[in-house]
Chains A and B, each alone.
Chain A
Amino acid sequence: MNNGNNSILLAGLPERIERDSARITLARNARSKVVGYFCPHVPEELIMAADMIPVRLAQGGDIDAVTAGEDYLKADSCPYARSCLGFRKTENPIYTGVDAVCVAYTCDSMRKNQEYWADYLGIPSFPLGITQTHDRLRSKTQSLEYYKNELNLLAGRLGTLSGQPVTNSKLKRAIELTNRIRDKLWRLFEYPADKQTPIEWRDVFRIAQAGFTMDRQEYLDELTLLDDRLGKIDKQSLTPDSRPRLMICGSIIAQGDDKVLDIVGAAGGNIVADSVCTGSMFSRKRVTLFGLAGSPMDALAERYLYNIPCPFMTDLPKRLSRIVKIARDYNIDGIIYYSLKYCDTWRAEFKAVRDIAQKQLSIPTLLIEAEYSPADIGTIKTKVEAFIEMMEGR
């Protein structure tokens, strides 16, 4: 439960950040071009270095947008992917406010998204090819070189769009700013590792999501302010949280897709860590610039190719060892594995995650397959409540 003192401190803060993001979205259209991206394989630093404003188009949980997206994608495809197109039709201000999009080829539906944005919505839509295949017969450099080449092409296109070419020095400045945001966010995500925490994962997650659309400098300022305030709290004075400690892992949890998180909270579960692409992973790893002579593009490629929690792009052993590490670092009692219905990429990984959690951590994993409609709330509630009863009975 919320500690009394922390609820006073944090009252309204996530809401303020969310409100700001809407204001900034409207304001910025006047002064600069806005470029949207979906998957976090697209480095926002490239967009910033071309003097444009990056926004992550990661909204969801809206059944109207899903239905609208069925004009393009079939009804049994991932609801997030359908929404990516649907939000244009339902006139979501962030989706209609973008001047261009960058789309990483991370699954079948996103690939078609890239093409439909260009061909049907008439918005410049830049593809980002990406592959990660290496074993005894294929060197690591092969995929890295390919990805770097793709990033260079993207940088060129972004520069042409804005009329402001991406230079090394602008790229370095963008990397530095983004790294500072990462450092601040990561400190927040580390707090819930402790049972006595001044901020819960759910609030940190909302703050991370609010950052998708905020002005980067203003976002950093807000995070710094919050970090300073939290730093002043004596953790020893806080009541330890005794609820079962859960980790959420799986498909994208888009902004507005609160259904499962709400159910877990109402059932008495406490999510303290995540491995989802909208959560802590953005901040977990900085872009490392090696010295003054180091190529920023090399650094970006290395960071963005290998550090996104995506089962489509990551070898299974690496995915599993990361999940095990997070579970240990945060003393997890159970994993909630979230699979958006029809998201084959994540659903396919579930068995391996469940098995490793059982074998190496002796903790259970609960599979939740959900859509954005409220129809499955009853079943999900029963599953989540039974899972938490099971942990409390231990």
Chain B
Amino acid sequence: MSEHIVAGVDIGSTTAKAVVLKNGQLLLGKIESTGSNPARAGQEVLESAITDSGYDKSRLEYTVVTGYGRVSASFADKTVTEITCHGRGAHFVSPDIKTVIDIGGQDSKVISVDASGRVVDFVINDKCASGTGRFLESAAQLVLHVPLEDLGKLSAGATSVCKISSMCTVFAQTEIISLLAAGESKENIIAGLHASIAGRVGTMANRLGVKPVVMMTGGVAKNTGVKYALEKELGTSIIVPDDIDPQLIGALGAALIAEDMLKAKTGT
């Protein structure tokens, strides 16, 4: 097959991601904020990723769109759920993985994959922000007034872990305000938030059965504090992709499926 370009786009609740493959090899990935128009955000991140790759968008031969915004993406050649895409992307990065834990902005999911990266089972949390990136974001920005990306670093300085029992994002904020008023350090509270997410996601993971090797994907995987708390909760070590941003794994999986689809279409 001659030189060909395909792409995967993952339109999440917070960010839109695009990954471009050239001849099946990773060329470029890009992340932009979703804003209020998910379909347009997807189209924009795709176009800028192609341009950044040094190609014209007319060269793009196949696009698979995933994420919650997939339903309105008219530029998609095919839509696939984020479950299938995260399994596929994680397997590509590290072929020995058996379990993928994806914590995104709006939901979290645990996926079991087989030796060839196919999904064999999964769980998604039910329409509630507990155990998701949104839970951390609201606590960090609205109550603790620290940048989201500093949470991991700060929690490493905790002397003890606060107990945060509210699963509800709104009630947790109230709880944090009380803890601050009682003189608890930000570090201890952040460690408590991480333990709370780990507890929530850990319960989901245990329902499915956690088989090593475990990989974390999604934006929250960049938070070392959550990774550490989840390792403690599950009693197993967790890998986070380092060659590629863990937030791009879904878009990468979509791009790999696009490559398959193009091959099937052209019969090669």
Which B residue sits closest to A388, measured CB to CB? Answer: B81
The answer for the CA separation of A383 and B126 in the assembled complex, in Å, is: 10
B259 at interface by CB-CB < 8 Å = no
- Contact between A389 and B80, CB atoms less than 8 A apart: yes
The answer for the CA separation of A385 and B79 in the assembled complex, in Å, is: 10
Interface secondary structure of B, over-half rule: mixed
- Contact between B84 and A389, CB atoms less than 8 A apart: yes
B-facing residues in A217-269 (Cβ within 8 Å): none
B122 at interface by CB-CB < 8 Å = yes
The residue from B80, B84, B126 contacting A379, defined by CB atoms under 8 A apart = B126
The answer for the CA separation of A105 and B116 in the assembled complex, in Å, is: 50
- Contact between A386 and B122, CB atoms less than 8 A apart: yes
The answer for the CA separation of A332 and B119 in the assembled complex, in Å, is: 18
Known A-B contacts A378-B68, A379-B107, A393-B84; the reply to A386 vs B126 at CB < 8 A is no
A-facing residues in B78-107 (Cβ within 8 Å): 80-84, 107
Q: Say which size band chain B's interface belongs to.
A: 10 to 19
**How many residues on the A side are at the interface (Cβ–Cβ under 8 A)?**
15
The residue from A382, A386, A394 contacting B68, defined by CB atoms under 8 A apart = A382
Residues in chain A near residue B81, CB distance under 8 A: 382, 385-386, 389
B22 at interface by CB-CB < 8 Å = no
- Contact between A376 and B83, CB atoms less than 8 A apart: no
- Contact between A390 and B124, CB atoms less than 8 A apart: no
Residues in chain B near residue A394, CB distance under 8 A: 118
Known A-B contacts A389-B80, A389-B83; the reply to A383 vs B120 at CB < 8 A is no
- Contact between B84 and A382, CB atoms less than 8 A apart: no
Interface secondary structure of A, over-half rule: helix
Residues in chain A near residue B84, CB distance under 8 A: 386, 389-390, 393
The answer for the CA separation of A382 and B119 in the assembled complex, in Å, is: 14
The residue from A379, A381, A385, A393 contacting B127, defined by CB atoms under 8 A apart = A379
A364 at interface by CB-CB < 8 Å = yes
Known A-B contacts A378-B68, A393-B119; the reply to A386 vs B127 at CB < 8 A is no
Q: How far is the CB of B128 from chain A (nearest CB, A)?
A: 10
Residues in chain A near residue B68, CB distance under 8 A: 378, 382
- Contact between B121 and A364, CB atoms less than 8 A apart: yes
- Contact between B127 and A376, CB atoms less than 8 A apart: yes
A293 at interface by CB-CB < 8 Å = no
- Contact between B118 and A382, CB atoms less than 8 A apart: no
Q: How far is the CB of A349 from chain B (nearest CB, A)?
A: 15
- Contact between A379 and B122, CB atoms less than 8 A apart: no
Which B residue sits closest to A379, measured CB to CB? Answer: B127
The residue from A369, A376, A390 contacting B122, defined by CB atoms under 8 A apart = A390
B-facing residues in A352-381 (Cβ within 8 Å): 364, 369, 375-376, 378-379, 381
Which A residue sits closest to B82, measured CB to CB? Answer: A382
Q: How far is the CB of A363 from chain B (nearest CB, A)?
A: 11
The answer for the CA separation of A379 and B109 in the assembled complex, in Å, is: 12
The answer for the CA separation of A388 and B127 in the assembled complex, in Å, is: 20
Q: How far is the CB of A340 from chain B (nearest CB, A)?
A: 13
Q: How far is the CB of A383 from chain B (nearest CB, A)?
A: 6
Which A residue sits closest to B126, measured CB to CB? Answer: A369
- Contact between B120 and A390, CB atoms less than 8 A apart: yes
Residues in chain B near residue A364, CB distance under 8 A: 120-121
Residues in chain A near residue B82, CB distance under 8 A: 382, 386
The answer for the CA separation of A290 and B102 in the assembled complex, in Å, is: 60
0/1 per residue, B128-165, Cβ < 8 Å to A?
Answer: 00000000000000000000000000000000000000
- Contact between A386 and B107, CB atoms less than 8 A apart: no
- Contact between A382 and B122, CB atoms less than 8 A apart: no
Residues in chain B near residue A378, CB distance under 8 A: 68, 71
Known A-B contacts A393-B118, A393-B119, A394-B118; the reply to A382 vs B124 at CB < 8 A is yes
The answer for the CA separation of A389 and B119 in the assembled complex, in Å, is: 9
Residues in chain A near residue B107, CB distance under 8 A: 379
Q: How far is the CB of B38 from chain A (nearest CB, A)?
A: 12
Residues in chain A near residue B121, CB distance under 8 A: 364, 390
Q: How far is the CB of A262 from chain B (nearest CB, A)?
A: 15
- Contact between B124 and A383, CB atoms less than 8 A apart: yes
The residue from B71, B119, B126 contacting A390, defined by CB atoms under 8 A apart = B119
Which B residue sits closest to A384, measured CB to CB? Answer: B81
Known A-B contacts A375-B127, A379-B107, A379-B126; the reply to A386 vs B118 at CB < 8 A is no
Interface set of A (CB-CB < 8 Å, partner B): 364, 369, 375-376, 378-379, 381-383, 385-386, 389-390, 393-394
Given pairs A375-B127, A383-B124, A393-B84, 12 additional interface contacts (CB within 8 A): A378-B68, A379-B124, A379-B127, A381-B71, A382-B68, A389-B81, A389-B84, A389-B119, A390-B83, A390-B120, A390-B122, A393-B118
A-B contact pairs, 23 of them (CB 8 A): A364-B121, A369-B126, A375-B127, A378-B71, A379-B107, A379-B124, A382-B68, A382-B83, A385-B81, A386-B84, A386-B119, A386-B122, A389-B80, A389-B81, A389-B83, A389-B84, A389-B119, A390-B84, A390-B118, A390-B119, A390-B120, A390-B122, A393-B119
